[in-house]
Structure 1
Amino acid sequence: MSNQVYAPALLIRKCSGNDAKAITVLMRQLRYPTTVSVMKERLTSLENHPHYRSFVAELDGKVVGTISLRQFQTNDMERPVTRITSLIVDEDHRGKGIGKLLMAEVEAWGKRKGSEELFLSTGDDHRLEAKPFYEHLGFQCSGYRLSKSLI
């Protein structure tokens, strides 16, 4: 009998178009309608954009989480800000610290890129259950999100 202990290997890395199938599965867990071909096209087109970034969390070689962000600056801002556009951890792997590690990677990226703030919005009621997670990481709720359809 061996005394070896198995420790799963978790890796946070930059996302690529090759991750489209895994990202599509994750997106569907939160009811985002998409297809693998559409996701591959989006990921590939933004892969080397200087103001967009996506990361994945790989557990023993399998993608179990993803986070995407966009940095921008407007004429009323002294420094740019970074917006988290999506964060998804596979439902079988939630509560294990993977989301926290993805958030840490995003914070580091934003700081390296000169952002003064990291923010996100969650508009759907079923996603409000994530609010305590974000608050635990230091996010504060401020204001309201207003939107208007242009189509």
Structure 2
Amino acid sequence: MEIRKATEQDIDAILALNRQIGLIHFEQAPEVFCPPSPEERGFLLAAIGAEGRLFCVAVDEGRVLGFLTARIDINESVPFLTKLPICRIGSVVVDEGHRSRGIGKALIAHCDEWARARNASQIRLEVMSFNERAKSLYESLGFTRQSEIYAR
């Protein structure tokens, strides 16, 4: 398996993966997530081409099996928050038929290297409370709960 930068040629595979995770999120939290839509193509293509962001894919035998997006944020406006660079993972998606095979771990390890090269002091991500499998993966990789979001 290879982790590499996503390209526009990967878009159909990325859309299929995004649809998998999008349907699960929509079913579990329709008050937060919309069902997958054709608008996602343009959004994801823009993300692939965005400067200064990470958009990588896990590829095996020419097939995209997962992807990860991330960016570096630096607080410049809130005086009581650190000004250190923070890597924020936006999405980690692995094909339903290929989960529990180390693909998510490999994507996060790649992100960790990318973040370290940009002097990030931390890697942060948000996971929905219903996503037990993802929470288990992140905890096994040393992530700890830092905050919780409440909604009503």
Counterpart of 1:49 in structure 2 is 50
2:123 matched to 1:118? yes
Report the alpha carbon displacement of residue 138 of structure 1 after superposing the two structures with TM: 0.5
Which of the numbers 8, 29, 52 marks the counterpart of 1:17?
8
Which string of whole-angstrom CA distances, capped at 9 and with x for unpartnered residues, describes residues 85-125 of structure 1? 11111111111111111000000011111110001111251
Q: How does 1:68-87 map to 2 (within 5 A)?
A: 68-75=69-76, 76-87=81-92
Structure 1 runs not aligned, ≥5 long: 1-9
Structure 2 runs not aligned, ≥5 long: 26-34
Supply the distance in 2 between the matched residues of 1:16 and 1:42 (Cα, whole angstroms).
14
- RMSD value, Cα: 2.0
Supply the distance in 1 between the matched residues of 2:51 and 2:10 (Cα, whole angstroms).
19
Which of the numbers 80, 88, 94 marks the counterpart of 1:89?
94
Supply the distance in 1 between the matched residues of 2:49 and 2:14 (Cα, whole angstroms).
18
Rg (Cα) greater in structure:
1
TM-score (norm 1): 0.80
Supply the distance in 2 between the matched residues of 1:61 and 1:139 (Cα, whole angstroms).
31
TM-score (norm 2): 0.80
Equivalent pair of 1:81/1:116 in contact (CA under 8 Å): yes
Supply the distance in 1 between the matched residues of 2:112 and 2:40 (Cα, whole angstroms).
24
Report the alpha carbon displacement of residue 20 of structure 1 after superposing the two structures with TM: 1.4
Counterpart of 1:103 in structure 2 is 108
Counterpart of 1:136 in structure 2 is 140
- Equivalent pairs counted in the alignment come to 137
Report the alpha carbon displacement of residue 57 of structure 1 after superposing the two structures with TM: 0.4
* Percent sequence identity over aligned pairs: 30
Taking CA–CA contacts closer than 8 Å with sequence separation of 6 or more, which of the two structures ends up with the larger relative contact order? 2
* Higher share of residues assigned helix: 2
Report the alpha carbon displacement of residue 27 of structure 1 after superposing the two structures with TM: 1.2
Supply the distance in 1 between the matched residues of 2:3 and 2:111 (Cα, whole angstroms).
10
